[in-house]
Amino acid sequence: MSKINEIKKFEFRSDLPNEIELLSLKELFEKGKEVLTSPHRAGFYHILWFQSGSSTHLVDFIPVDIKSNSILFLSKDTVHRFDEKGNFEGKALLFTDNFFCKTEEDVKYLQHSSLFYNLFSVSQIAAGDDQSAIPQLFQLIEKELKNKKDSFQSDILRNTLFNLLLQSERENLRHESKHSKKNADFDCVLMFKDSLEIHFKEQKQVSFFANQLSITEKRLNRATKSILGKTTKQVIDERVLLEAKRILAHSTESIKEIGYYLGFEEPSNFVKYFRKHQHRTPSAFRAQLKF
């Protein structure tokens, strides 16, 4: 697809000593309002601390009500946009895989983090007061970033960031106690979601993903129902439809080409599939969007 990249995607700044940055949300918004209030994605992780004010942040078609002194976690490549009103102040902590992931265990940690890959919703936590660990860790990162780079800085920043993620994950799971119990079903769904992210364009059958995990379709279906309250096929369809809506909303590619990109051999099959699940055609969905 030639135009799929019309969804604006930003890579991390190449002129920084480390691929981690802490910015003022207010200054960032003032300088880049036009970009930030349009749908865009970035090839790095966002930790957005809204210290004051309130707004609505749109994350993959889901409006998230932002509360004062709350922190929002966005994985890399998430399509999102800021509220045009810009009624907030805070901090934006940005970092890349290259910065955080030094071992295979680090990669697995990020991939399975309830902050960035929450199975149930977009993760948002309360930051706490000035005496709590999370604001203090932000302050430590900010202080270290002002120091001149030396052989210790990268490790100090990474370790502080890791502590911030652990403290945030503890807070996140504390308020999602009904989902926080990790068991065999939970692990099964995580592995399924990893496989789905790789193969959803060309594979839409439950049997394929069950074979990938070396389990039966019945076992996989039981796991998704237990953890997500949905059948495995529903989860597959939701991922395909999310990508379809992303491209329809943020590109001018033809319906035919979008269908091919998502693995439908005939354009009519894509139209039927979309209409079955969304109760309208892809063209109608695109026409009704108001971005």
Q: What's the confidence (pLDDT) of residue 2?
A: 45
From its phi and psi, is residue 56 left (phi > 0), alpha (psi between -120 and 50) or beta? beta
Give long-range contacts, CB 8 A cutoff, 24+ apart: 273-279: 273/240, 274/241, 274/244, 277/237, 277/241, 278/241
2 or 230, which is more confident: 230
Residue 153 has pLDDT above 90, yes or no: yes
5 or 202, which is more confident: 202
30-67 burial, b for 16+ CB within 10 Å, e for fewer? eeeeeebbebbbbebbbbbbbbebebebbbbeeebebe
Which one is the CATH code of 184-288: 3.90.1560.10, 3.90.1300.10, 1.10.167.10, 1.10.10.60? 1.10.10.60
At 179-213, the pLDDT tens digits run: 556 789 988 998 999 899 899 999 999 999 999 99
At 25-47, the pLDDT tens digits run: 998 888 888 889 888 888 899 99
User: What is the 8-class DSSP label of residue 4?
Assistant: G
Arithmetic mean of pLDDT over the chain = 89
Mean pLDDT throughout 256-267?
94
Mean pLDDT throughout 256-264?
96
80 or 289, which is more confident: 80
Query: What's the chain's length in residues?
Result: 291
114 or 22, which is more confident: 22
Q: What's the confidence (pLDDT) of residue 291?
A: 44
Cα dihedral across residues 46, 223, 226, 202: positive or negative = positive
Mean pLDDT throughout 117-146?
89
Stretch among 16-30, 104-118, 270-284 having the lowest mean pLDDT:
104-118
CA–CA dist 54, 47 (Å, integer):
16
Segments making up each domain of the chain, as ranges: 14-179, 184-288
Q: How many CB atoms lie within 10 A of CB 94?
A: 23
145 or 41, which is more confident: 145
- The class that CATH gives domain 14-179 is mainly beta
Residue 119 has pLDDT above 80, yes or no: no
User: What is the 8-class DSSP label of residue 127?
Assistant: -
Q: pLDDT band for 234, please (50, 70, 90 cuts).
A: very high
Greatest mean pLDDT among 87-91, 99-103, 115-119, 120-124 lies in 99-103
